[in-house]
Amino acid sequence: MARMTYLAAARAALAEEMRRDPLVWAVGEDLGRGGVFGQYAGLVEEFGPERISDAPISEAAILGASVGAALMGTRPVVEMRFSDFALCAVDELVNQAAKARFMFGGQGRVPLVVREPIGMWRSSAAQHSQSLEAWYAHIPGLVVACPATPADNKGLLKSAIRCDDPVVYMEHKNLWPLEGEVPEGEHLVPFGVARRVRAGGDVTIVSWSQQVHVCAEAAEALAGEGIGVDLIDLRTLWPWDRVMVLESAARTGRLLVCHEAVAVAGFGAEIAATVAEHTSAKVRRLGAPRAPVGYAPPVEDAVRVGAAAVAATARSMMGR
């Protein structure tokens, strides 16, 4: 184990995979200077400018070229800076990357990872703050990963790079400096296996990414009130761990799904519906209002799902 940040864990994962497999390369804007958040710092010195490649501000070309390069057998790691910018490359991801394997009858594979940092940090406003994971969970052919911890940001990124299908890899911008224990060397987190953050018997709370930490804060407060929270970090939205979620919800009889993304048509709806179909658990979900993220702190905070709201919802589910 080593103590490192969420950002450093991902950098270690990429470096290890690039040392292991010469077909892995990374491409995106500003990578030669370490990337917009420093996720690539030092890598061009080790791997050179061909494998840590700068790119023009051409999201469609960055992603589309990576589709072509992946079909040819290389394994591109694509940096999009912000999930918001990746919308300039939706055709390349949704119509091309996600479908090539199927529509060509299995003749080709598209082993690319597209890193799309998500989420609110401070005052980045409507075009640099979105959480768009549900869009991609809806698309057949795509894997969607949303790591919440430094250890997972290493283990999931390594799994993503080794995956033979396209992976939408959504790191949360607010988590870059988060420190935690990270296994050294070969540490692979499989897709579709959730993480139980804390065990409890009263309310199941399912979340992912930064919102896991908000829910953990709420769970701590609820524990002091005698309410036991079974907190599940989903880690990947596709595939997602139905077994752990259904077992927990059936046991506690209460499911609260909580995400930073807009509640309407969010992935929480999928989980809530699944649990409602398969258990008799009481189901609630919490997500952001259906409004763009604002700049001024009070406006921005108005669309955050905070720990107090999570705790209040759990209490009401307990009849308190």
Partner 1 sequence: MPPDQSSRNFDVSRLREQHRLMWRIRALEQAALRGLAEKVVLGAIHPSIGQEAVAAGVVGNLRRDDILLSTHRGHGHTLAKGADSEAMLRELLGRVGGTCGGKGGSMHIADFQVGMLGANGVVGANIVIAAGAAHAIKLRREDRVVCCIFGDGAINRGPFLEGLNWAAVFGLPVLFVCEDNGFAATTRTASMTAGAGPATRARAFGIVAEEVDGNDILAVDAAVQGLLAQVRGGGGPRFLHASTYRLTGHTGADAAPYRPAEEVAARRLEEPIGRAAELLRGAGVDAAALAADQAAAEAEIAAAYEAAFAAPYPEAAEAFRDVQDVGSPLQGAF
Among 20, 102, 126, 280, binds partner 1 (CB under 8 A): 102
Cis ω before 239 (30° cut-off from 0): yes
Instruction: Mark residue 239 as left, alpha or beta (left: phi above 0; alpha: psi -120 to 50; beta: remaining).
Output: beta
Quote the DSSP letter at residue 118: B
CA distance 293 to 116: 18
Q: Binding mask 235-264 vs partner 1 (x if CB under 8 A, - otherwise)?
A: ---xxx-x----------------------
Nearest Cα neighbor of 293 from 9, 84, 19 is 84
128 catalytic? Reply is: yes
Work out whether 91 is an interface residue with partner 1 (CB under 8 A): yes
Smallest gap, in angstroms, from Cβ of residue 61 to partner 1?
4
Tokens of 18: 């690039």
List the x/- string, 15-44, binding to partner 1 by CB under 8 A: ----------x-------------------
Contact call for residue 165 and partner 1 (CB under 8 A): yes
**Judged by CB, which is closer to partner 1: 64, or 294?**
64
Whose Cβ is closer to partner 1: residue 3's or residue 278's? 278
Under rule CB under 8 A, residue 101 binds partner 1:
yes
- For the chain, the C-alpha Rg in angstroms (whole number) is 19
Under the criterion CB under 8 A, does residue 14 sit at the interface with partner 1?
no
Please report whether residue 66 would count as binding partner 1 according to CB under 8 A.
Answer: yes
H-type alpha helices, 52-187: 59-71, 90, 100-103, 133-137, 150-162
Q: Which helix (H) or strand (E) holds 267?
A: helix 267-278
Instruction: Please report whether residue 6 would count as binding partner 1 according to CB under 8 A.
Output: no
Shortest Å, Cβ 90 to partner 1 = 11
Q: Total binding residues for partner 1 by CB under 8 A?
A: 50
- What residues pair up with 288 in beta bridges, in sequence order? 262
Does residue number 295 form part of the binding site for partner 1 (CB under 8 A)? no
What is the nearest approach in angstroms of partner 1 to the Cβ of residue 157?
A: 16
Dump strand ranges (E) for the chain. Answer: 2-5, 24-27, 52-53, 75-79, 113-115, 143-145, 167-169, 179-182, 195-198, 203-207, 229-233, 236-238, 254-262, 282-288
What are the residue numbers of the active site? 128
- Residue ranges binding partner 1 (CB under 8 A): 25, 50-51, 55-56, 58, 60-61, 63-74, 76, 91-92, 95-96, 100-108, 140-143, 163-165, 191-192, 238-240, 242, 270, 273-274
